[in-house]
Structure 1
Amino acid sequence: MSDLRAVKPSQAFFKFIDYKPYPFQQEIHDSPALYRIPIIGRQSGKSEVASAEAAFELCCVPDSSGWIVAPTYEQASIIFNRTYVKVEKAVARLPHLKITAYSRRDMKLEVSHYDRQGNLIGVARFAGKSGDKPDNLRGASLTYCIIDEAAMILKSVWDEALSPTLSTTNGWVLMITTPKGYNWVYQWFADGQDQNNRRYQSWQIPSWVANPRTALEFYEEQRRVLPDLTYRQEYGAEFISDAGSVFVGIDEAPRVHVSARRDIPGGVSLTAKLRQPGHGYVIGADFARLNDFSVFTVVDLNTGEVARQDRVNIVAWAQQLAHLKEVSREYGNALVVADVTGLGDPLVEMLSAQGVPVEAVRFSSLQIKEALISKLSLGIQYKKITMLDDEDTRKEFRSFVYTRTESGQLRMAAAGAGHDDRVISHALAWSKVPAEFITPAEQIEKGSAFFDQFGIDMDSVNALFD
């Protein structure tokens, strides 16, 4: 079998669909490699590359058969719909083509090809598929496959479902993705960097290089509002180590001296500063689950300093709530922001019944939890939060890392069997700190620009900033 693609898209066809590729897009189209792996940052035109390739196959290669496979149907529909728009333009200008089957809902498209006498000479087919249901990907025979956001799809989906569909046709693959750590996609990328391997070709292109139409000021803003590792991965198209700490600069963060360290029932209390007249305070409360600890972190809203941190274990709920009530009173009836995920509302209701101002936070999705942690990460990165000078706390923050799920997605979690109670408690308290502590208020109004990067509906988190 040949190591190279038999047919490549032409500039003449691109004119029919009103497509003017960027330089990097043209280089991908021109590549003869069977396996092309563009590693590209967000908002850079990846979908245009993929849809132009699919439209060419549908309109210029009779009897071709291809799929767009993405982590979800919704993601696959983006490229499928763009492909249909391009095919419509081509069919309107090329009389030998006719769309003979189309379903937007089922993501199926067929284009029939005719000779000058009107005789059918072939039917090209294209469909959208989801990588989260690999059993639905078996049994087909394809001449090409486009994999969008491949880094978020399991390697087993390729090995067991997609690869066999191309085995008898020597079909080509376009794997187009933003990187998600050193997973299986990285190995393909490395193969594509080997100039002696003609079957593979890969590119690594930051968003600001790939898309010349986006102002550099946009990327400068993203660098300001995103944690460093997130920015480098999502826009810089960098492969980030799975072991990378979420909290960049934790050892360089400003520190406040612990003036009092005392034992409390079931734990220890670290106090740096008592209540200052005229200052407001908030307490992040992460209640213990299983073998974890309950941690109550007091943050000064005027200075961004951690004033106190209490950590307890194996203590009855009633005793913990009584202690938390006393801490709130000592800091001017400070608001308690409590994580009630998995615990229900009884603890919050009991605190409220005792006159403690309290807000419940339920991590109904990983996105909300990670958005709060990322806001804290920004505070540390920009040296806006002053941490307690406590090595145990710094150790926990260092051990809170980016990890890889089975599906290849990047997640934030304590390494191994480590604890994350101090991290969560800090994140809950820091969620109430005004956004100007991180970047100027005119850049992030109530953090909305920050949360937009995570695709989170602001209605679900606005209460954390009000």
Structure 2
Amino acid sequence: RQTGKTTTIAMKAIYFADTNPNVTVLITSPSLRQSMIMFDRIATFVYSTPRLRNKIVRATRTLIHFENSSRIIALPCSENLLRGYTAQMVICDEASFMPEEIITQVIFPMLSTTDGYAIFLSTPWGKDHFFYRAFVNPAYSVHKVKSSECPLIKPEFLEEMKANMTKEDFLIEYEAEFVEALNSYFPQDLIRKCVELAQKLGVELYGSLEATFPAGDYYAGVDFGKLQDYSVITVLKRECDILKLVYLYQFPLETPYTNVIGHLVRAHQKFKFRKALVDQTGVGEPVLEEIRNQGLSNVEGLKFTVQIKEELLSNLKIVMEQNRLAIPYHRQLCQQINEQQYAYSKSGHLQFSHPTNSHDDMLWALALSCMAAKEPPKKEPAFTFS
């Protein structure tokens, strides 16, 4: 983190487009929002340099077109949007979360006739993916930079981060290591498949109720927290057998329950939930009754016993393994899912926990909404013979 890879690649893209006429530089990532981080850095450099700024003949939010007919374009990792381009350079940011088939069947072919460059940047995430195989392939030019190698990052800061993060998270984020806890209930590769499904289906994740949402079957999950934990609301949209995560909102610490209830009511007015499940542990029946009094008659509460937790996360994992859950790229959510650890009790039940100095509120809200969307088993038709 913060070692300058975005700045370095941004400068490389600008230099390449400026010194080579008629070239196309594409920037893509798991989401347009992520692509725009790189593109905004490029735009800042271009507009702050008079010589480059004067060469612009056309510019939009996602495009810079220079007078030498070279272009820099930002796109999300969508097959429909990427296909059709011929490029001389493609920059893939957070490549570990991009579908392999997009890389091998869309990006590489667009470089085949131009002898172009493919640049992959990413936080390490899972080994069953093209990015890891390229990382260990001597045919690729590989650059691994630890945060400790950056002179702008003080050793004291890294020591503080090490004390406040899990060992695995620190190695991933600051040491650029491909690691994963052995007792992680949700493997990194499984999580990535959910992210890839969202990219294939074009699922957008929103964190504001100001967005417009089409009519459909929506289900909500609410995990209540207050002092040390966050309150989180997640919303899934069910389309046939696919569950799409379309809304996620995390409240600031110490947010009163009345504010969370008010937000849930507004969300219900927007989504018209078919069902909502809330964590009733510690908040009791009064909070549930207040939610119902506000018009959410189809809300149910669950107290997080060992058995209920096992049912919630087992159901979530099954849906993920069946490739039925689409999760748009959200670094914090992916991290929380992967950090959930498990062990077996003497009675044979699964017991779950998250590492010290980490949170799992988003995970439980997602598990609740996923359980809310679970269809009851269909009854076999009854036949009467006379």
Normalising by structure 1, we get a TM-score of: 0.43
Going from structure 1 to structure 2, the CA distance change for 1:455 and 1:151 (only over 3 Å counts) comes to farther
Which of 51, 55, 71 is matched with 1:93 structurally? 51
Q: For residue 204 of structure 1, what is the aligned residue in structure 2?
A: 144
The answer to whether 1:245 aligns with 2:183 is: yes
Q: For residue 67 of structure 1, what is the aligned residue in structure 2?
A: 26
Q: For residue 161 of structure 1, what is the aligned residue in structure 2?
A: 106
Tell me the amino acid that sits aligned with residue 183 of structure 2. S
1:315-360 Cα distance to aligned partner (Å, 9 max, x none) = xxxxxxxxxxxxxxxxxxxxxxxxxxx862596799536x99xxxx
CA distance in 1, matches of 2:279, 2:51: 66
The answer to whether 1:55 aligns with 2:10 is: no
Contact persistence 1:179–1:238 (CA under 8 A): yes
CA distance in 2, matches of 1:43, 1:180: 18
CA distance in 2, matches of 1:76, 1:455: 27
CA distance in 2, matches of 1:349, 1:81: 44
Contact persistence 1:180–1:239 (CA under 8 A): yes
Which of 106, 124, 130 is matched with 2:76 structurally? 130
Give the Å deviation of 1:212.
Answer: 1.2
Q: For residue 232 of structure 1, what is the aligned residue in structure 2?
A: 171
1:146-178 Cα distance to aligned partner (Å, 9 max, x none) = 111101111111112211111110101111111
CA distance in 2, matches of 1:420, 1:81: 49
CA distance in 1, matches of 2:9, 2:278: 48
Going from structure 1 to structure 2, the CA distance change for 1:344 and 1:124 (only over 3 Å counts) comes to same
1:257-301 Cα distance to aligned partner (Å, 9 max, x none) = xxxxxxxxxxxxxxxxxxxxxxxxxxxxxxxxxxxxxxxxxxxxx
Bigger fraction of residues in strand: 1
CA distance in 2, matches of 1:233, 1:190: 16
Contact persistence 2:184–2:341 (CA under 8 A): no
Q: For residue 43 of structure 1, what is the aligned residue in structure 2?
A: 2
Map 1:311-460; keep pairs closer than 5 Å: 344-345=277-278, 351-352=284-285, 411-412=337-338, 422-423=351-352
Q: For residue 111 of structure 1, what is the aligned residue in structure 2?
A: 66
Tell me the amino acid that sits aligned with residue 153 of structure 2. T
Going from structure 1 to structure 2, the CA distance change for 1:187 and 1:348 (only over 3 Å counts) comes to closer
SS of 1:213 mapped into structure 2: coil
SS of 1:205 mapped into structure 2: coil
Contact persistence 1:414–1:420 (CA under 8 A): no
Going from structure 1 to structure 2, the CA distance change for 1:455 and 1:157 (only over 3 Å counts) comes to farther
CA distance in 1, matches of 2:7, 2:283: 55
Tell me the amino acid that sits aligned with residue 39 of structure 2. F
Identity, % of aligned pairs? Answer: 22
Give the Å deviation of 1:67.
Answer: 0.6
Q: For residue 151 of structure 1, what is the aligned residue in structure 2?
A: 96
Going from structure 1 to structure 2, the CA distance change for 1:244 and 1:62 (only over 3 Å counts) comes to same
Contact persistence 1:59–1:87 (CA under 8 A): no
Going from structure 1 to structure 2, the CA distance change for 1:352 and 1:214 (only over 3 Å counts) comes to same
CA distance in 2, matches of 1:71, 1:46: 17
Give the Å deviation of 1:53.
Answer: 0.9
1:439-462 Cα distance to aligned partner (Å, 9 max, x none) = xxxxxxxx7xx66xx998xxxxxx
SS of 2:55 mapped into structure 1: strand
The answer to whether 1:180 aligns with 2:125 is: yes
CA distance in 1, matches of 2:65, 2:349: 52
Q: For residue 170 of structure 1, what is the aligned residue in structure 2?
A: 115
Contact persistence 1:58–1:124 (CA under 8 A): yes
Q: For residue 82 of structure 1, what is the aligned residue in structure 2?
A: 41
Q: For residue 193 of structure 2, what is the aligned residue in structure 1?
A: none
Contact persistence 2:57–2:65 (CA under 8 A): yes
SS of 2:157 mapped into structure 1: helix
Aligned-CA RMSD value = 4.3
Contact persistence 2:46–2:52 (CA under 8 A): no
Contact persistence 1:57–1:124 (CA under 8 A): no
Contact persistence 1:208–1:216 (CA under 8 A): yes
SS of 2:70 mapped into structure 1: strand
Contact persistence 1:62–1:124 (CA under 8 A): yes
Residue ranges of structure 2 left out of the alignment (5+ in a row): 186-274, 289-309, 363-386
Map 1:26-41; keep pairs closer than 5 Å: none
Tell me the amino acid that sits aligned with residue 99 of structure 1. I
Normalising by structure 2, we get a TM-score of: 0.52
CA distance in 2, matches of 1:421, 1:220: 34
CA distance in 1, matches of 2:81, 2:70: 20
